[in-house]
Structure 1
Amino acid sequence: MITILTAPPFSTLCNAAFALRREVFVWEQKVPEEEEHDAHDFTATHFVAVAEGEVVGTLRLIDMPEHVKIGRVAVRQAFRGRGVARLMMDAAMDHARAQGRDKFYLTAQSDKLGLYEKLGFSAFGPEFFDGGMPHRAMRNYDRASAILID
């Protein structure tokens, strides 16, 4: 069973999330360590996926005026392919919607576009490099807000 929880900054859960991010981004994907953390970590809403008593996934939400930015999505290698990222994304987006926010933005590693497309995101703009890897910007503006715009 996988449980999705929010993790306040500086909490034990959040520290475990940061350790997982280091494992996935710095050690596995070779993202420069100085690029892994930023000031948003202090104000973001962090989510963790807990399975078998350990944090196996994490992501963060950054509340911005124009949209909610989803970032730092990481799943421990042994737990990939089990729907952990999807569960976290669904929980995080539901959390934002409960606060009246329905416009979402993220930058995805180019080889992960399919995951986010299944969640209703669409890529836009050119490919760019972040952390040494190709990325694309993606957005998901819920149908309710799209109807109002149309």
Structure 2
Amino acid sequence: MNATILIVPPFSTLCNAAFGLRREVFVREQNVPQAEENDADDLTATHFVAVVDGDVVGTLRLLEKPEHIKIGRVAVHLSFRGQGIAKAMIHAAMQHARTMGHDRFYLTAQSDKLSFYERLGFAAFGPEFQDGGMPHRAMRTYDRETASLTS
């Protein structure tokens, strides 16, 4: 799938379309409570969108933390799943963070999505926990001091 991956400012037209996609995926499809979907981090996050034929079909956000970059709110429109959109967005987001000097990445993945993130170089750690009513695991990439970063 040939998608254009863009960084968009919070509450821009494209970012608002991304928020709409997140509501569709997380709230409507996966029954995450609306109150848990949007949070204050949306104001400071770096938002990425995947655009195909003028439509936002994927989104994610990056949060800069002292210890790592947190990747979150990864969502792809139902009709575009399985076409490499999420992979392309994650690669673009990680590359962007690397240009800013970051090489440690963290995310929490729905447990049924672990193998997808493992193929991108993430390793699960810690116990399974509930988030938004679904089982999740924490995942991270390794820093240069302990292992090579794979992506």
Runs of 4 or more consecutive aligned structure 1 residues displaced over 2 Å after TM superposition:
144-148
* Distance (Å, rounded) in 1 between the aligned partners of 2:99 and 2:37: 29
TM superposition shift of 1:146: 2.8
Q: Could you say if the C-alpha distance between residues 58 and 145 of structure 1 is closer, same or farther in structure 2, counting changes exceeding 3 Å? A: farther
Q: Secondary structure at the match of 1:141?
A: coil
Q: Secondary structure at the match of 1:95?
A: helix
* Distance (Å, rounded) in 1 between the aligned partners of 2:145 and 2:25: 34
* Distance (Å, rounded) in 1 between the aligned partners of 2:108 and 2:147: 24
- Structure 2 gaps of 5+ residues are none
* Distance (Å, rounded) in 2 between the aligned partners of 1:91 and 1:120: 14
The answer to whether the 8 A contact 1:102-1:145 is kept is: no
Letter in 1 for 2:107: L
Per-residue Cα deviation, 1:1-41 (whole angstroms, up to 9, x for no partner):
21000010111111000000000000010000000011100
Taking the TM superposition and a 5 Å limit, the aligned residue runs for 1:1-150 are 1-142=2-143, 144-146=144-146
TM superposition shift of 1:147: 5.4
Q: Could you say if the C-alpha distance between residues 9 and 111 of structure 1 is closer, same or farther in structure 2, counting changes exceeding 3 Å? A: same
By percentage of residues, which structure has more helix?
A: 1
Q: Secondary structure at the match of 2:11?
A: coil
* Distance (Å, rounded) in 1 between the aligned partners of 2:103 and 2:145: 7
* Distance (Å, rounded) in 2 between the aligned partners of 1:124 and 1:76: 28
* Distance (Å, rounded) in 1 between the aligned partners of 2:68 and 2:142: 9
Per-residue Cα deviation, 1:68-111 (whole angstroms, up to 9, x for no partner):
00000000000000000000000000000000000000000000
Letter in 1 for 2:83: R
* Distance (Å, rounded) in 2 between the aligned partners of 1:54 and 1:44: 21
Q: TM-score, normalised by structure 2?
A: 0.95
- Structure 1 gaps of 5+ residues are none
TM superposition shift of 1:52: 1.7
